[in-house]
Structure 1
Amino acid sequence: MKTLVYSGPEKVEVQERPPAELKEGQVRIKVRYCGICGSDIGIFAGKHPRAKAPLVLGHEFVGTIEEIKGGSSKFKVGDRVAPYPLLSCGECFACRTGIPHVCRSLKLIGIDTDGGIAEYVNCDEDVLFKLDDGLSDRAAAVIEPLAVIIRTMHQADFQMLDTAAVIGAGPIGVLTGIVLKNAGASRIIISDVDRERLKICRDFGFETVNVLDQDLAEYVALQTGGTGVDVVFECSGSAPAAGQMTEICRIGGKICLTGVHKEPHAVNLQDVNFKEQTLVGSRVYTKREFGQAVQYAGRIADDLERVVTHIVDLKNADTVFELIRDPQESTLKVLVDCSVENED
């Protein structure tokens, strides 16, 4: 079978590999699509601390069950499924107290073990969620990042008609805006430096601020009468965002760290004190929230499909990171189409 393998910093290869042996309680999935995540970009750059070459990339995948070995008869051959990709130890404090998604040694398929940018992948039956027949494969391929947004909405305690600012218009930022829109936000302001991504945001009906041209804090103050927004979703992981997020949040408001900050950044903690703001983290999602994303995807399927801007065939997937880097391409969410037909 064809696979996309990370073989070293700045190097990926489409390789032929035999399918892994199917173990008791596992299913073999014929992969339809697998999304490219920011963590995949970090792996490709050689900057992910856990990913080791050679590694089949990909944790945002959906497909159809082709074979089952044992199991509970909950699924059948032909079912379309989305696998929950988190791997928890089951023994640490987080796992013992019911929050295994923040396991001390949390691992993911496609980062710590071979992943889903492949024709086939084996998964334990108990991590699978069945997809509704009416949900397109293209929309279903965005379920995993959608689960990230459901988690961050819960962490932020978002309330209907709240005003919100989203810092960062990457896939996670745009998806945050989509969920906010459908959850009843009264105002959604998204900031970034990428003009094409901000245009996509305007097409969704969001207010946009290009921070290269306009000061975000000044814009928010002007639009809210100096009050600030109810909730800030920091999706960029950047130092300037960390420094400004408390300024644009109102007194008594909430700031949710949706994006991961790879290194320490300065935060105005005096604002947090004097404005009695709540600063909360958010990391991946619970298994229940992943299941909620599977259900919710059907309600916003049209928007999810619009997030996907590019699809690359698996046989050409060794070019996918060059595509993402190309400023002329204006990528947002990129999928790899893994439905390769063996004609040799």
Structure 2
Amino acid sequence: MKALVYEGPRTVAVRDVPRPKTKGVRLRLHYCGVCGTDIGIYAGSHPRAQAPLILGHEFIGEVIEDHAGFTKGQRVTAFPLISCGACHPCRTGSPHVCANLRLLGIDCDGGMAEEITVAPELLVPVPDDVPDELAALIEPVAVCLRVADRAAVTMGDTCVVTGAGPIGLITALMLRHAGGGRILISDIAPGRLRLAEELGFEPVNARAETLAAAVAAATDGDGADVLVECSGAAPAALEMTRLVRTGGTICLASLFKAPTPVALLDMSFKELRLVGSRVYTREEFRRATALVAQLETPLAKLITRIVPLSDAGDVFELATDPEAGMVKVLVDCRG
């Protein structure tokens, strides 16, 4: 079968590989999304991913043959988290932050291939009213649903999202779905800012104006109720405490891989609430699966390119090319 194989830093290729022989439910894959984590693996910066590896954990496929309660032709996605079951988080009801957490497409082969075999306990049926392309967004929607839950947004809150990539834009959709009022979203990419405006958010071009001024104007100088950091940029981390009101909430959706300056005096003087967010619970993944159909129109706008698997050798260069203006890129595993 064909698969997109990570072979080392900045090296991927479409290869003929043996069909998976592991036990589980065999799937014929339809689409797989390109995630920021996949881009990090491609860049050689992921600490666990080892070549050769079939990438991808945001996928939709169909069951090839009846097995373990799943029927031939049934469309499914996968809850890609593999927890150890023995560590303290697992023992105390938080297996999604397992101390030994593993993921499909990172610690074992993933979904950028014609087929995959997945343990039945990880499979989640896809509702009939969810198109294939949108089903590939269930996993990132679950990520952002978790963010909105952790941020504890309430009706009418003024929210700020720093970074208008896929996670930033989907997070903004989740904040609005949770009741958020005005939502400002900052970035430096004109195409992403145009899309943010098209989706009904207030874009802030960080190259043309300061986010602090935009937030002050939107809140009469009080500051935002909720800020979600999705850029992963050190300047955004340093500025974020200035942008929220006294008693406000900051949620970290991005992953800072190195120690990063934060204005901790603001945390104390303004009594701010700072929370982290990592992946999602099984319940949030289930909610995301149902929610995708409700948000079909805005989510469909995020899919900016679909690349056939046979031509996917350059998909990471495409996804990271600032001139290409990509938001969400999918690999068509049937092509």
Q: TM-score range by the shorter chain?
A: over 0.9
Match of 1:237 in 2: 232
Deviates more, 1:128-137 or 1:5-14: 128-137
Q: CA deviation at 1:328?
A: 2.6
* Residues in 2 aligned to 1:49 and 1:126: alpha-carbon distance in whole angstroms: 27
User: Do the aligned residues in 2 keep the contact of 1:164 with 1:231 (CA within 8 Å)?
Assistant: yes
Q: CA deviation at 1:332?
A: 0.2
Q: CA deviation at 1:182?
A: 2.8
User: Do the aligned residues in 2 keep the contact of 1:239 with 1:265 (CA within 8 Å)?
Assistant: yes
Among 94, 97, 115, the residue aligned to 2:92: 97
**1:166-194, Cα deviation, whole Å (9 max, x unpaired):** 00000000001112223332100000111
* Residues in 2 aligned to 1:33 and 1:334: alpha-carbon distance in whole angstroms: 10
Gapped regions of structure 1 (runs ≥ 5): none
Match of 1:145 in 2: 140
* Residues in 2 aligned to 1:120 and 1:189: alpha-carbon distance in whole angstroms: 41
* Residues in 2 aligned to 1:220 and 1:247: alpha-carbon distance in whole angstroms: 10
Match of 1:32 in 2: 30
* Residues in 2 aligned to 1:301 and 1:239: alpha-carbon distance in whole angstroms: 33
What percentage of residue pairs aligned between the two structures are identical?
A: 50
User: Do the aligned residues in 2 keep the contact of 1:28 with 1:68 (CA within 8 Å)?
Assistant: no
2:64 match: secondary structure: strand
Among 175, 189, 200, the residue aligned to 1:180: 175
User: Do the aligned residues in 2 keep the contact of 1:22 with 1:28 (CA within 8 Å)?
Assistant: no
The amino acid of 1:152's aligned partner reads V
2:38 match: secondary structure: helix
The amino acid of 1:67's aligned partner reads E
Q: Residues 1-344 of structure 1 correspond to what in structure 2 (within 5 A)?
A: 1-23=1-23, 26-69=24-67, 71=68, 73=69, 75-340=70-335
User: Do the aligned residues in 2 keep the contact of 1:189 with 1:206 (CA within 8 Å)?
Assistant: yes
**1:56-91, Cα deviation, whole Å (9 max, x unpaired):** 00000011111244x2x2x21111011000111111
Please report the TM-score for the alignment, with normalisation by the length of structure 2.
Answer: 0.98
* Residues in 1 aligned to 2:116 and 2:296: alpha-carbon distance in whole angstroms: 25
Q: CA deviation at 1:160?
A: 1.5
Q: CA deviation at 1:321?
A: 1.1
2:65 match: secondary structure: strand
Q: CA deviation at 1:219?
A: 1.4
The amino acid of 2:230's aligned partner reads C
Count matched residues.
Answer: 335
User: Do the aligned residues in 1 keep the contact of 2:153 with 2:179 (CA within 8 Å)?
Assistant: no
* Residues in 1 aligned to 2:162 and 2:66: alpha-carbon distance in whole angstroms: 43
Q: CA deviation at 1:129?
A: 1.1
* Residues in 2 aligned to 1:197 and 1:204: alpha-carbon distance in whole angstroms: 11
* Residues in 2 aligned to 1:224 and 1:147: alpha-carbon distance in whole angstroms: 29
Q: CA deviation at 1:271?
A: 0.7
* Residues in 1 aligned to 2:325 and 2:46: alpha-carbon distance in whole angstroms: 24
* Residues in 1 aligned to 2:22 and 2:267: alpha-carbon distance in whole angstroms: 52
The amino acid of 1:17's aligned partner reads V
* Residues in 2 aligned to 1:241 and 1:22: alpha-carbon distance in whole angstroms: 44
Q: CA deviation at 1:218?
A: 1.5
* Residues in 2 aligned to 1:45 and 1:106: alpha-carbon distance in whole angstroms: 21
* Residues in 1 aligned to 2:294 and 2:178: alpha-carbon distance in whole angstroms: 11
Q: CA deviation at 1:264?
A: 1.1
**1:139-158, Cα deviation, whole Å (9 max, x unpaired):** 11110000001111111111
The amino acid of 2:32's aligned partner reads C
